[in-house]
Amino acid sequence: MLGNVAFKEYKKSNDIHGTVLYPAVMVAPVQKSILSNIINNNEISSVFDAFHGSGTALYEAMEISPNMHLVGCDINPLANLITKVKLHGVNSNVFNDIEQLKKLINEPKQIFSLSFPYMEKWFREDILDTLSIVRSAIMQINDDQNRLFFWYMLCDVIRKHSNTRSSTYKLHIKEEVSILRIENNVINNFITSVETNVNKFMKKSDNFILYKGDILKIMTGIENRAFDISITSPPYGENATTVTYGQFSMLPLHIIPNPDLELEGWELDNYSIIDSCSLGGMNSEAFLNEYEQNLIKPYLNKISVSKHTKITRFFSDYFKFLKELCRVTDKYIVLTLGNRTVDRVQINLTDISRDFLESQKFRNINQIQREIPVKRMPKITSMVYNKPVASMNHEYIIIHSRN
């Protein structure tokens, strides 16, 4: 069905997906290749991404078919904003708004106060002052689409000038000497990013819906076989010990005003709450039926009992998600997966997912292994029992069709 999907030469910096940093994003040409193959050979009118993240799959579906009905969901309000900006683009008056923005920054007449927990820990005082000027200027832009685009472009500037280490998605404070070395280029970096990237946001979809919230709750309100294709990259384990999307997002979320975010009211309560409330997080139940228990039993038998609960908790949510995904999908399911390691035991999420989808009458028609050529995380992430543990260096794509 598909040829080579390595795309080792692909660089996000050349397209819209390189305009903002987000953890563990799908590789755009891989998703586009898969979607093109399916869409061009079938009658497809809708695409669903249950964990849309930074919107890679949805944007690529729009590129293939501009009138495609696109639906996405994510519990992270920053992911929601990023994807919305990619799909909605900017308005034609954006260049006038850029000039107004520059004037408001260079000649600030109104600066709105900025306050959030531990902000002095995560930012130097002079950088906070400069961010307040830029933030206040963006707040005075009236056009909603253009204002959201400016928040989008500010996200990387915020993280670059924060006191957190760039080597991890978690919030880890830099050493004092490194903090003192940070150059305050907030304004120049921001304006340059806006002017350099604005032309990448001229495409737009008028046919998309983004849900912000818990996917397990949202999917119960979606009718049977609502989507022709479901394409997503679900979490490989609970966020706290895999990819901390929530922690990564917290600094921009505290700086972007609440009215420009999709919030349910709990997301800013603490710095780890989004990860705790995500799939398989601390609030999830640990219940599996006999069939589900048998799928993960070979791995649990090799893993210390103290870690069984968190694994069971994740798979309890994960199997609920897969079952609902099969219910709402009419034709094709495409999953990009990684096989995480616990206690030096690799849990084969790919095989588990494939077997579960088969049990739900979705036949596997292709499976692809792809090496991850560039990773933010190091090859060796930790030590367990005094032995090194390798991070994830391959991803797997499984494609299923309804029987």
pLDDT, tens digit, for every residue of 272-323? 999 999 999 888 888 999 999 999 999 999 999 999 999 999 999 999 999 9
- Average pLDDT of span 38-66: 97
- Average pLDDT of span 365-379: 72
Of 201, 219, 247, which residue is a domain's last? Answer: 201
DSSP character string of 39-79: HHTS---EEEETT-TT-HHHHHHHHH-TT-EEEEEES-HHH
pLDDT surpassing 60 at residue 379: no
- Which has the closest alpha carbon to 204: 334, 126, 92? 92
CA angle 299, 277, 174 (to 5 degrees): 90
Residues 67 and 215 in one domain: yes
pLDDT surpassing 60 at residue 271: yes
Residues 169 and 54 in one domain: no
Confidence of residue 6 (pLDDT cuts 50, 70, 90): low
Of 172, 201, 230, which residue is a domain's last? Answer: 201
The pLDDT assigned to 373 comes to 63
Task: Decide if 168 is inside a domain.
Answer: yes
Residues 213 and 286 in one domain: yes
Residues 98 and 85 in one domain: no
pLDDT, tens digit, for every residue of 218-228? 999 999 999 99
- Average pLDDT of span 76-105: 98
pLDDT surpassing 70 at residue 233: yes
Confidence of residue 250 (pLDDT cuts 50, 70, 90): very high
Task: Decide if 272 is inside a domain.
Answer: no
Q: What range does the domain containing 137 cover?
A: 94-201
Structure tokens at 141: 């832009």
Return the minimum-mean-pLDDT range out of 13-17, 95-99, 126-130, 291-295: 13-17
Residues 222 and 346 in one domain: yes
Residues 286 and 158 in one domain: no
DSSP character string of 213-277: S-HHHHHTTSPTT-EEEEEE---SS-GGGS--HHHHHHHHHHHS-GGGS---S-TTSSTTHHHHT
Residues 151 and 37 in one domain: no
Confidence of residue 376 (pLDDT cuts 50, 70, 90): very low
CATH number at residue 44: 3.40.50.150
Task: Decide if 247 is inside a domain.
Answer: no
Residues 215 and 162 in one domain: no
CA 97 to chain centre: 28
Task: Decide if 313 is inside a domain.
Answer: yes
DSSP character string of 152-184: HHHHHHHHHTSSB-TT-SS--BPPHHHHHH---
Residue bearing tokens 């996917």: 215
The pLDDT assigned to 286 comes to 85
The pLDDT assigned to 385 comes to 47
Number of domains in the chain: 2
The pLDDT assigned to 389 comes to 46
pLDDT, tens digit, for every residue of 310-353? 999 999 999 999 999 999 999 999 999 999 999 999 999 999 99
pLDDT, tens digit, for every residue of 117-151? 999 999 999 999 999 999 999 999 999 999 999 99
Question: How far apart, in whole angstroms, are the C-alpha atoms of residue 180 and residue 366?
Answer: 52
Residues 227 and 305 in one domain: yes
Task: Decide if 213 is inside a domain.
Answer: yes
- Residue 361 has phi, psi (to 5 degrees) of 70, 30
Task: Decide if 270 is inside a domain.
Answer: no
Residues 319 and 173 in one domain: no
Residues 191 and 224 in one domain: no
**Which residue(s) pair with 400 in the sheet?**
333, 364
Of 154, 176, 201, which residue is a domain's last? Answer: 201
**Is the whole-model pTM more than 0.85?**
yes
Task: Decide if 266 is inside a domain.
Answer: no
Residues 113 and 150 in one domain: yes
Question: How far apart, in whole angstroms, are the C-alpha atoms of residue 194 and residue 206?
Answer: 23
Task: Decide if 170 is inside a domain.
Answer: yes
The pLDDT assigned to 392 comes to 58
